[in-house]
Amino acid sequence: MRRTDGSIAWAALDLLCCLLLVVYTLIAPPRARSSEIVTQGAYAIVLEWPRASTDDLDLYVQDPSHKVAWYGQRDPPSMQLEHDDLGSATGTNYQVGPNYERIIVRTTTAGTYAAVVHLYCQATPGPVRATVELWKLGTNQRPVTIRRLVLSRRGDQQTAFRWTLDGGGSVASTDRLPVTLPQAAGVGCDK
């Protein structure tokens, strides 16, 4: 096959473009990347438990009007279940970090909220260790309170914490007084 002057010119142009791209990549300043994921809401409640766990924990959040966000009611008026995790037993063990569930509180209605954790399905014997965090969202995201729990058997229900918002939407207080939610009652799965 004969090369023409035109094909040589195109090859030279391709080589020049590749060289320019390499040089630009080496000398161009890196672009700033945000390490946070923007979520529309005022607060986030995050439940985490070990990635290797095949147990299914569920997070429930009750607002001052006694509406509850959970896997059976993902989107009550002031909240949203943003992520529901079933543990690694589902066969979808593609995630990088721990198992987690997240509920977003979209509005800042004054009053007391509660975060409750339920060990819905226990696939392996022994206690399950979990962490529950309340995060203030916005430009200065920060944790407000963190609680570590140990759930012993299928059906266990524990209050992680309660928090009270004042009229301005700020956390006025937190406590660990127990709350029993009927939505989290019962034993759970049939394993």
The rounded mean pLDDT for the chain is 83
CB 146 within 8 A of CB 190: no
Confidence (pLDDT) at 32: 47
Q: What is the pLDDT of residues 20-66, one digit of tens each?
A: 665 555 665 555 444 455 667 999 999 999 888 888 999 999 999 99
Confidence (pLDDT) at 35: 47
Confidence (pLDDT) at 58: 94
Confidence (pLDDT) at 6: 65
CA distance 156 to 81: 21
Binned average pLDDT, 10 residues per bin, the chain of 191 residues: 64 66 57 55 94 90 96 91 74 64 94 96 89 92 95 93 96 95 74 55
* Global pTM value: 0.75
Task: Flag whether 180 is in a domain.
Answer: yes
Task: Flag whether 18 is in a domain.
Answer: no
Confidence (pLDDT) at 19: 66
Q: Which secondary structure element, helix H or strand E, spans residue 129, and what is its range?
A: strand 128-136
Task: Flag whether 59 is in a domain.
Answer: yes
Range of the domain at 89: 43-184
Percentage of the chain lying above the pLDDT 90 cut: 50
Say whether 174 sits in a helix, a strand or coil.
strand
Confidence (pLDDT) at 95: 56
Full DSSP string of 37-89: ---SSSEEEEEEE-TT---EEEEEEE-TT--EEBTTBS--TTEEEEE----GG
Task: Flag whether 140 is in a domain.
Answer: yes
CA distance 79 to 101: 14
Exposure of 48 in the CB half-sphere (CA atoms within 13 A): 14
Task: Flag whether 7 is in a domain.
Answer: no
Give the list of residues 6+ apart from residue 117 with CB closer than 8 angstroms, or none.
47, 57, 58, 59, 60, 130, 132, 149, 151, 157, 158, 160
Counting the structural domains of the chain, the total is: 1
Quote the DSSP letter at residue 183. G
Task: Flag whether 29 is in a domain.
Answer: no
Task: Flag whether 191 is in a domain.
Answer: no
**Buried residues in 146-158 as b, exposed as e (16+ CB within 10 A):** ebebebeebbbbb
Task: Flag whether 129 is in a domain.
Answer: yes
148 phi, psi to nearest 5 deg:
-105, 135
The structure tokens 């040089």 sit at 23
Confidence (pLDDT) at 84: 81
